[in-house]
């Protein structure tokens, strides 16, 4: 197997009548029907002009038809670009423009009416599949150097320049994780996996592809419903869920607000978490809530997918902090100290770098040279930007970020992107953002000092996803600067304590 679409072909031969997908509305499809419909939709793509190697983006809520479209895009030897349906239209347009995608799949009820008017839309095929329409774009002077049948997806993440960066992942980058994660998390044809992560979040790769490789069923939650811990708790019982893959924050919310004691969740045996550091208190609550489970900590940036893992041993005292563990079999990790590579050995600390089959090659719309370390043999190592140390057992411990990118609710957030968005307001002359006590705090200067926090929030809401909107705004007369005339972020942190 060398391509993602072959997953369905293989599983349909072994488990044709197993339920493959069920969505929140109750629509369901088995593997045999899924394979048949993928081929039908793929033929329809080709008949209206979709060609191999092209990029097809989509703004779709998760249901059977949207996953069918995604899989048909892959079957057409194209790549898919998922766009956050809850992001403001300007953000969605930015991703489409940066991707220079051939076409966009969308539902008219869920996109802004002016979105297509703001883009070089050539033609629109309404109701291409049910209520899903397909728009084609005509980009001027566009030659796609990235066109390749080997490209599977482009996942856009926060960019420090203020423009989202597109991480290009090939089939060969994604399959090693899919195979490995299926086995290590005990996925079988009896498994029932709840899909909480949106499709533009790399956790969805496990939900969709690892589950479908196993012959189990993936249960889809749309983005709005996926924010409701009470609903998720109820669905764990209703759908007899066996596997959940989400962030520590979401697990904490389910336990706090999901009234789990009301529901029978004894089927839940495999709890996988990633995207941010797992607090010891939260993992203890997870174990107390679902005591018969297996508990996995996955770690890895979008550029590499998961590269380290740790399984919590409940027979031993819980380690503090929870390790991100050891490298996955398809990845190699080293420690970068003063521009020199060292092996992962006890008591070393530095920046975690990685290479291997799952590592991306390049960004769609930005240079990637600065994110790689080139060793003396010419091998490229991805610099994660994460500070780590190795404990006495040889396990990797996450210590924090080395740069201005943080993780919030599992999402990557470039703090400078928020500051740049604030600075597009005429009334804001300067802005800086820090991350303190798990909160985004924005400092800004205003020559007239008359713009309100409500106005700033509204402006940012038009440009950024909800998870990038600061929790707190602080007006100051002048941003503190260091001796080299750069913003003094340490001083900004100290201002919060005053």
Name the CATH topology of 321-401.
Luciferase; domain 3 (2.30.38)
| Residue 14 parent element (H or E) | helix 6-14
223-259 pLDDT per residue, tens: 999 999 999 999 999 999 999 999 998 999 999 999 9
Of 145-149, 155-159, 186-190, the range with the lowest mean pLDDT is 145-149
pLDDT tier for residue 426 given thresholds of 50, 70 and 90: confident
Tell how many helices (H) and how many strands (E) occur in the chain.
13, 27
Cis peptide before 321 (omega within 30 of 0): yes
- What is the predicted pLDDT for the residue at 65? 98
Give the rounded percent of residues in the chain with a pLDDT score beyond 90: 81
* pLDDT score at 489: 87
C-beta atoms surrounding 451 within 10 Å: 18
Q: In the 8-state DSSP scheme, what is residue 375?
A: -
**pLDDT in the model for residue 189:** 99
Q: Which pLDDT score is estimated for 449?
A: 62
With a pLDDT cut of 70, the percent of the chain lying above it is 97
User: At 423, is the pLDDT very low, low, confident or very high (cuts 50, 70, 90)?
Assistant: confident
Q: Who wins on pLDDT, 141 or 389?
A: 389
User: What is the pLDDT at residue 143?
Assistant: 65
Look at strands 19-23 and 217-220 and give their pairing: parallel
pLDDT of residue 446: 85
Q: What is the pLDDT of residue 487?
A: 83
pLDDT, position 159 = 78
Please state whether 142 falls in left (phi above 0), alpha (psi between -120 and 50) or beta. Answer: beta
DSSP at 119: T
Where is pLDDT greater, at 1 or 382?
382
pLDDT, position 17:
99
Confidence of residue 144 (pLDDT cuts 50, 70, 90): low
Q: What is the pLDDT of residue 325?
A: 98
Superfamily of domain 6-227: ANL, N-terminal domain (3.40.50.12780)
The beta strands (E) that lie in 357-427 are given as 372-374, 380-390, 396-401, 405-408, 411-414
Report, as an integer, the average pLDDT of 37-59: 97
Rounded distance between C-alpha atoms, residue 289 and residue 286, angstroms: 5
Q: Domain ranges in the chain? A: 6-227, 321-401, 405-497
Q: At what angle do helices 415-423 and 453-463 cross, to 10 degrees?
A: 110
Question: What pLDDT score was predicted for residue 223?
Answer: 93
Q: How many CB atoms lie within 10 A of CB 52?
A: 11
Q: Determine the pLDDT at residue 481.
A: 79
Closest among 410, 419, 395 to 347, alpha carbons compared: 395
Q: Per-residue pLDDT tens for 273-330?
A: 999 889 999 999 999 999 999 999 999 999 999 999 999 999 889 988 999 999 999 9
User: How do beta strands 331-337 and 340-342 pair?
Assistant: antiparallel
Average pLDDT over residues 8-28: 98
Q: What would the pLDDT profile of 173-203 be if each residue is shown by its tens digit? A: 999 999 999 999 999 999 999 999 999 999 9
Q: For residue 185, what are its two tokens?
A: 């998390």
Instruction: Tell me the C-alpha distance between 192 and 195, whole Å.
Output: 10
Q: How far apart are CA 2 and CA 101, in angstroms?
A: 24
Q: Are 54 and 42 spatial neighbours (Cβ–Cβ below 8 Å)? A: no
What pLDDT, on the 0 to 100 scale, is given for residue 482? Answer: 67
Give the CATH H-level superfamily of domain 405-497: ANL, C-terminal domain (3.30.300.30)
3-state secondary structure at position 308: strand
Phi, psi of 480 (to 5 degrees): -65, 140
């Amino acid at each position: 197997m060398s391509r993602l679409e072959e997953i369905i072909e293989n599983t349909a031969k072994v488990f044709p009548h197993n339920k493959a997908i069920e969505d929140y509305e109750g629509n369901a499809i088995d593997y045999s029907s899924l394979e048949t419909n993928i081929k039908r939709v793929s033929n329809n793509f080709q008949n209206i002009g979709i060609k191999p190697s092209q990029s097809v983006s989509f703004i779709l809520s998760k249901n059977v038809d949207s996953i069918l479209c995604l899989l048909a895009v892959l079957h057409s030897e194209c790549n898919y670009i998922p766009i956050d349906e809850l992001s403001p239209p300007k953000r969605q347009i930015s991703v489409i423009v940066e991707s220079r995608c051939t076409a966009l799949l969308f539902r008219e009820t869920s996109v802004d009416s002016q979105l297509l008017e703001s883009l070089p839309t050539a033609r629109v095929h309404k109701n291409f599949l049910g209520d899903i329409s397909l728009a084609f774009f005509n980009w001027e002077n566009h030659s796609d150097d990235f066109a390749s049948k080997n490209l599977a997806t482009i996942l856009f993440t926060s960019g420090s320049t203020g423009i989202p960066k597109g991480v290009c992942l090939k089939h060969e980058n994604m399959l090693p994780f899919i195979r490995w994660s299926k086995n290590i998390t005990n996925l079988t044809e009896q498994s029932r996996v709840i899909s909480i992560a949106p499709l533009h979040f790399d956790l969805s790769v496990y939900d969709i592809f690892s589950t479908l490789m196993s012959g189990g069923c993936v249960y889809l939650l749309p983005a709005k419903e996926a924010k409701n811990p009470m609903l998720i708790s109820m669905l764990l019982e209703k759908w007899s869920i066996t596997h959940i893959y989400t962030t520590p924050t979401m697990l904490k919310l389910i336990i706090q607000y999901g009234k789990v004691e009301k529901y029978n969740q004894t089927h839940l045996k495999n709890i996988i978490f990633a995207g941010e550091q797992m607090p010891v208190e939260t993992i203890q609550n997870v174990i107390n809530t679902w005591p018969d489970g297996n508990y996995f900590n996955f770690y890895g940036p979008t550029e590499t997918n998961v590269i380290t893992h740790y399984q919590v041993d409940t027979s031993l005292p819980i380690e503090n902090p929870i390790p991100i563990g050891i490298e996955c079999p398809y990845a190699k990790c080293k420690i970068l100290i003063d521009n020199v590579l060292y092996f992962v050995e006890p008591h070393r600390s530095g920046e975690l770098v990685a290479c291997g089959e799952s590592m991306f090659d390049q960004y769609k719309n930005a240079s990637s040279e600065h994110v790689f370390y080139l060793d003396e043999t010419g091998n490229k190592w991805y610099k994660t930007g994460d500070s780590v140390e190795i404990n006495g057992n040889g396990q990797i411990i996450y210590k924090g970020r080395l740069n201005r990118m943080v993780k919030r609710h599992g999402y990557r957030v470039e703090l400078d992107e928020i500051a740049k968005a604030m600075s597009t307001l005429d009334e804001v002359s300067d802005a800086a953002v820090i991350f303190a006590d798990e909160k985004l705090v924005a400092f800004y200067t205003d020559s007239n000092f008359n713009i309100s926090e409500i106005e700033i929030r509204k402006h940012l809401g038009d440009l950024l996803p909800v998870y990038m909107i600061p929790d707190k705004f602080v007006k100051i007369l002048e941003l503190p600067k260091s001796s080299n005339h750069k913003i003094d972020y340490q001083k900004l942190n100290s201002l919060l304590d005053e």
